[in-house]
Amino acid sequence: MQIEMKIKGLVVDPISKMPIVVLEDMNNEYMLPIWIGVFEANAIALKMENIATPRPMTHDLLRSVLNKFDIPIEKIVVNDVRDNTFYATIFCRHNNDVYAIDSRPSDAIALALRMDVPIFVEEDVVEKAQGLKFDEHLEDSEKLQKWLESLKPEDFGKYKM
């Protein structure tokens, strides 16, 4: 089963200083943190904050190409986690055929924002992620959950690079 999620926000891990995109389901029952790269976080933040760039960024370019060839994206799905690495698939349609394209979750999310399509996460990924060890200072899922729950709305404010 797939759970529809939205971006709760972007935060920076206080220890590793790595960006984290935090997804949350529509009923506010599940939260999924995904550590991502700085460039991908920037691409997500630019769109979240509606900041226009003078030239197209990579995800904007991909959106333009897909639109030009009339290839809509139907959804993105974070569909697996192995060895603390998340995997995603972009589902697009062309000539009545659906294509599944492998992607990093951060790129899929950045594209989903630009194409205004839903973000889904497989239920078993949410379950597996509860037991992951993401970083030395967050050694168990309980600490991670408490840290995420303690974040205030202002912690998800402007993303500082």
User: Could you give the domains of the chain?
Assistant: 2-150 (3.10.690.10)
pTM of the model: 0.82
Confidence at residue 129, expressed as pLDDT on a 0 to 100 scale: 83
Say whether pLDDT at 133 is over 80: no
Distance CA 59, CA 68 (A): 14
Task: Find the helix packing angle between 38-48 and 105-115, rounded to 10°.
Answer: 20
E strands present in 83-138: 85-94, 97-103, 119-122
List, for residues 48-104, the tens digit of each pLDDT value: 999 999 999 999 999 999 999 999 999 999 999 998 899 999 999 999 999 999 999
Residue 150 has pLDDT above 80, yes or no: no
Q: Under DSSP, is residue 32 helix (H, G, I), strand (E, B) or coil?
A: strand
Which structure tokens are listed for 70? 């009339």
Contact of 120 with 2, CB cutoff 8 Å: yes
Q: Exposed e or buried b for every residue in 105-135, given b needs 16+ CB within 10 A?
A: bbbbbbbbbbbebebbbbeebbeebeebebb
